[in-house]
Amino acid sequence: MLDYMIYILAFAVGSILGLLYSYKLHGEPFVADTEFNIISAVVAIFGWCLAFCSGNVVLAAIGFLLGGFIMGERPGYGRKETAVGLIIAIGLYLIMKYAV
């Protein structure tokens, strides 16, 4: 039970940090940036892979922190990068779980 609380707290802290970072980086009132951010995608892929595939409480919490950081950016930012990170992490998890 404590593991899940650590994951939720790490995700919440990551979301808050991502929101603060995004507001500092993008000052415009609406979404003006529609291009794919490679650095955010790498962070999302690394974070979600750690969260789903590590098997360690500390590494999974770091993964949820990184995933929350990208997912918690301002509305309109980080959505594509989060989707790519989740798809790759879930695919890697399924390969690791069901590959014999």
Task: Per residue of the chain (100 residues), give pLDDT as tens.
Answer: 777 899 999 999 999 999 999 888 877 777 666 788 899 999 999 999 999 999 899 999 999 999 999 998 887 788 899 999 999 999 999 999 998 6
Per residue, what are the HEC states of the chain? CHHHHHHHHHHHHHHHHHHHHHHHHCCCCCCCCCCCCHHHHHHHHHHHHHHHHCCCHHHHHHHHHHHHHHHCCCCCCCHHHHHHHHHHHHHHHHHHHHCC
